[in-house]
């Protein structure tokens, strides 16, 4: 049987990296079946095009995974495929929290023939076997322990994902418009892949707005260090073989949740030479450990994603995140920057103590720190989170099923001290100011003593991250973006050319010196 695993986009903006779940389920599929992967963020297809693709490839089963912000799109895709006669199964955090919605048991239309609740590592092979026999059940649930809790996969042993042979072309981060130009720099430069890897699952913090603890649990399960390193070495070998560019995103919700364990993993990575450029999510409170940050730098980290949320301690207390101290943010970011590591800092607009002007107050503070990549979202009540329950009980939900009418950067509930429209404007102001051509130039200039490759990658990252809020998916949008940022680009290009010429000159001088010594 041919199986299509499909990850939808949200129809507005696209993610910069593939999701791990597709590769993981592909590796867990019994070998007699063929699995095809399509990520709508990387390979945009209309619903009729996707239906035709399934017909042309004789697809026997379609698996769709979606987070809440993508689920409306996922339902539309599923509906079109089912109408065309294809069997569709769905899973992921949203379907787990709203199973009746996917199955049409809440009074709405049915979107899936079957659903998987929770982590599907062990239920996926059962779904595939039942589908092949034409005997799909409505719901597939994990086994439960004597206390009635879901049994979680322990991640040891961990499934083998054959990164060395998988076709990653659709996941290249280099926009098509730039691929011919980038290829002239050498083989492999026309493509750049960020590969998702997990080293553990779960989070004990339980932030009010977060779905992680509810889905993965509050106890942490880790892979063995050996399995992580073996996977990294295979990726490194592929990059070397293809002369390509591969970076890793450790998708653990908090890579340093057990600092002792992470230090051991990093030391093992360094000793094994399993070093690639990487990004990870780590909370600010755990980055005050100097020994840990030294190891993070030595092991190849380039960016750290930090959920800062707010510069207001009252807001942090409201969402049960008092372990993260705004007063310490600058010290943490400065410590990373000294090691040429920079932060992707996430902020939430519309928290209960926010008032009009929060965008400028926040960006004023951000601009006193080491430069990074700030991203701004809005406080969103995801289903089954403590935040959703609190707002529902208080009668503050303006759109209780906001995910079915996805509206980017429009709040689903009434903030306490500003309006929904105010929050939308504040979000726009924060993005506009943080990624203006002027701010991009200032950010790069503020790290002018950093190596040229660090500054180039920083500018490229800023241009990409701007696209999270301002869609830039066409050739014209990218050309305009380049023109608007020409001051930064020209400045770095001139310096880069000078550096390259100096390097070539030194190499030419070294050859006669060697010959003379001989």
pLDDT in tens, the chain (518 residues): 999 999 998 666 665 567 899 999 999 999 999 999 998 887 889 999 999 999 999 999 999 998 898 999 999 999 999 999 999 999 999 999 999 999 999 999 999 999 999 999 999 999 999 999 999 999 999 998 888 888 899 999 999 999 988 888 766 666 555 555 554 444 455 567 889 999 999 999 989 999 998 889 888 999 999 999 999 999 999 988 877 788 999 999 999 999 999 999 999 999 999 999 999 999 999 999 999 999 999 999 999 999 999 999 999 999 999 999 999 999 999 999 999 999 999 999 999 999 999 999 999 999 999 999 999 999 999 999 999 999 999 999 999 999 998 888 899 999 999 999 999 999 999 999 999 999 999 999 999 999 888 899 899 999 988 988 887 667 888 889 999 999 999 999 988 888 777 767 776 776 555 455 55
The sign of the torsion formed by the CA atoms of 77, 83, 88, 91 equals positive
Residue owning tokens 């049915």: 110
Encode pLDDT of 426-476 as tens digits.
999 999 999 999 999 999 999 999 988 889 989 999 998 898 888 766 788
Kindly state the tokens that stand for 242: 């293809």
Element (DSSP H or E) covering residue 266: helix 259-272
Contact 258, 208 (CB under 8 A): no
The residues with which 201 forms a beta bridge, in sequence order, are 221
Kindly state the tokens that stand for 397: 């939900």
- ∠ at Cα 214 (15, 301), nearest 5°? 45
Separation between Cα atoms, residue 283 and residue 109, nearest integer Å: 40
Same fold, 2-140 and 187-474: no
Q: What is the 3-state secondary structure (H, E, C) of 24-63?
A: HHHHHCCCCCEEEEEECCCCCCCHHHHHHHHHHCCEEEEE
Residue 13: predicted pLDDT: 60
pTM value is 0.91
Q: Specify burial of residue 211 (Cβ count, 10 A radius: 0-12, 13-18, 19+).
A: buried
Contact 252, 277 (CB under 8 A): no
Q: Phi and psi (nearest 5°) for 342?
A: -125, 165
Angle in degrees, 0-180, between the axes of helices 486-517 and 437-446, rounded to the nearest 10? 30
Residue 453: predicted pLDDT: 85
Residue 468: predicted pLDDT: 83
Q: Cα 70 to the chain's mean position, in Å?
A: 14
Strand pairing class (221-222; 245-250): unpaired
Burial 76-89 (b: 16+ CB within 10 A, else e): ebbbbbbeeebbbb
Encode pLDDT of 116-149 as tens digits.
999 999 999 999 999 999 999 999 999 988 888 8
Contact 434, 428 (CB under 8 A): no
Residue 356: predicted pLDDT: 98
Largest Cα separation within the chain, whole Å, is 86
Any idea where the domains of the chain sit in the sequence?
2-140, 187-474
Q: What's the CATH code, domain 2-140?
A: 3.40.50.280
Contact 128, 29 (CB under 8 A): yes
Separation between Cα atoms, residue 409 and residue 359, nearest integer Å: 14
Q: What is the 3-state secondary structure (H, E, C) of 364-410?
A: HHHCCCCCCEEEEEECCCCCCCHHHHHHHHCCCECCCCHHHHCCCCC
Separation between Cα atoms, residue 181 and residue 384, nearest integer Å: 47
Q: What's the CATH code, domain 187-474?
A: 3.80.30.20
Average per-residue pLDDT for the chain: 90
The residues with which 281 forms a beta bridge, in sequence order, are 305
The residues with which 7 forms a beta bridge, in sequence order, are 39
Angle in degrees, 0-180, between the axes of helices 486-517 and 452-466, rounded to the nearest 10? 150
Residues 6+ positions from 474 with CB-CB distance below 8 Å: none
Q: Specify burial of residue 401 (Cβ count, 10 A radius: 0-12, 13-18, 19+).
A: middle
Instruction: Map residue 303 onto helix, strand or coil.
Output: strand
Residue 183: predicted pLDDT: 47
Instruction: Map residue 222 onto helix, strand or coil.
Output: strand
Kindly state the tokens that stand for 369: 């720190």
Separation between Cα atoms, residue 46 and residue 68, nearest integer Å: 20
Contact 143, 151 (CB under 8 A): yes
Q: What is the Rg, in whole angstroms, of the alpha carbon atoms belonging to the chain? A: 24
Contact 308, 324 (CB under 8 A): yes
Separation between Cα atoms, residue 401 and residue 392, nearest integer Å: 11
The residues with which 349 forms a beta bridge, in sequence order, are 378
Kindly state the tokens that stand for 517: 């010594």
Angle in degrees, 0-180, between the axes of helices 259-272 and 290-298, rounded to the nearest 10? 30
Separation between Cα atoms, residue 228 and residue 24, nearest integer Å: 14
CB pairs under 8 A, 24+ apart, for 135-140? Answer: 136/87, 136/89, 138/103, 138/114, 139/99, 139/103, 139/114, 139/115, 140/114, 140/115, 140/116
Contact 48, 77 (CB under 8 A): no
Strand pairing class (192-197; 245-250): parallel
Residue 289: predicted pLDDT: 96
The residues with which 25 forms a beta bridge, in sequence order, are none
């Amino acid at each position: 049987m041919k199986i299509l695993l499909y990850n939808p986009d949200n129809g507005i903006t696209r993610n910069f990296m593939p999701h791990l779940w597709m590769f993981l389920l592909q590796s867990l599929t019994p070998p007699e079946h063929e699995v095809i992967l399509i990520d709508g963020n990387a390979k945009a297809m209309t619903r009729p095009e996707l239906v035709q693709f399934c017909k042309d490839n004789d697809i026997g089963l379609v698996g769709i995974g979606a987070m809440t912000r993508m689920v409306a799109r996922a339902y539309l895709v599923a509906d079109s495929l089912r109408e065309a006669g294809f069997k569709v199964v769905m899973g992921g955090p949203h379907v787990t929290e709203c199973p009746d919605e996917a199955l049409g048991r809440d009074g709405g239309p049915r979107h899936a023939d079957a659903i998987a609740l929770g982590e599907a590592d062990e239920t996926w092979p059962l779904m595939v076997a039942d589908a092949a026999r034409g005997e799909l059940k409505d719901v597939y649930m994990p086994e439960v322990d004597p206390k009635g809790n879901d049994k979680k996969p322990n991640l040891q042993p961990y499934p083998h994902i054959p990164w060395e042979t998988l076709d990653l072309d659709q996941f290249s981060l280099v926009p098509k418009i730039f691929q011919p130009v980038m290829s002239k720099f050498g083989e492999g430069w026309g493509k750049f892949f960020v590969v998702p890897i997990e080293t553990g699952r779960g989070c004990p913090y339980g932030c009010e707005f977060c779905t992680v603890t509810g889905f993965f649990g509050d106890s942490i399960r880790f892979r063995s260090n050996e399995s992580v390193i073996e996977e990294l070495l295979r990726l490194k070998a592929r990059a070397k073989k293809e002369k390509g560019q591969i970076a890793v995103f450790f998708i653990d919700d908090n890579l340093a949740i057990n600092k002792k364990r992470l230090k051991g993993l990093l030391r093992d990575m360094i000793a094994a030479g399993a070093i690639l450029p990487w990004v990870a999510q780590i909370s600010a409170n755990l980055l005050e450990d100097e020994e840990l940050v030294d190891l993070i730098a030595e092991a190849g980290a380039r960016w750290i994603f930090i959920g800062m949320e707010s510069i207001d301690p009252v807001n942090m207390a409201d969402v049960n995140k008092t372990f993260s101290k705004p007063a310490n943010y600058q010290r943490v970011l400065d410590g990373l920057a000294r090691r040429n590591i920079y932060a992707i800092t996430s902020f939430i607009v519309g928290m209960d103590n926010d008032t009009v002007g929060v965008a400028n107050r926040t960006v004023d503070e951000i601009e006193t720190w080491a430069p990074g990549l700030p991203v701004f979202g809005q406080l969103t009540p995801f289903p089954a989170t403590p935040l959703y329950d609190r707002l529902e009980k208080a009668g503050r939900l303006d759109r209780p099923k906001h995910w079915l009418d996805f509206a980017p950067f429009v709040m689903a509930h009434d903030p306490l001290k500003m309006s929904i429209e105010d929050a939308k404007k504040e979000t726009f102001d924060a993005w506009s100011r943080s990624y203006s051509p002027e701010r991009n130039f200032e950010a790069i200039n503020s790290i002018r003593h950093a190596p040229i490759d660090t500054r180039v990658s920083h500018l490229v990252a800023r241009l990409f991250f701007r696209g999270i809020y301002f869609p830039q998916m066409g050739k014209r949008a990218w050309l305009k973006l380049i023109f608007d940022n020409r001051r930064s680009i020209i400045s770095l290009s001139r310096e880069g050319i000078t550096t390259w010429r100096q390097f070539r000159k030194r190499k030419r001088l070294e050859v006669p010196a060697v010959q003379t010594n001989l």
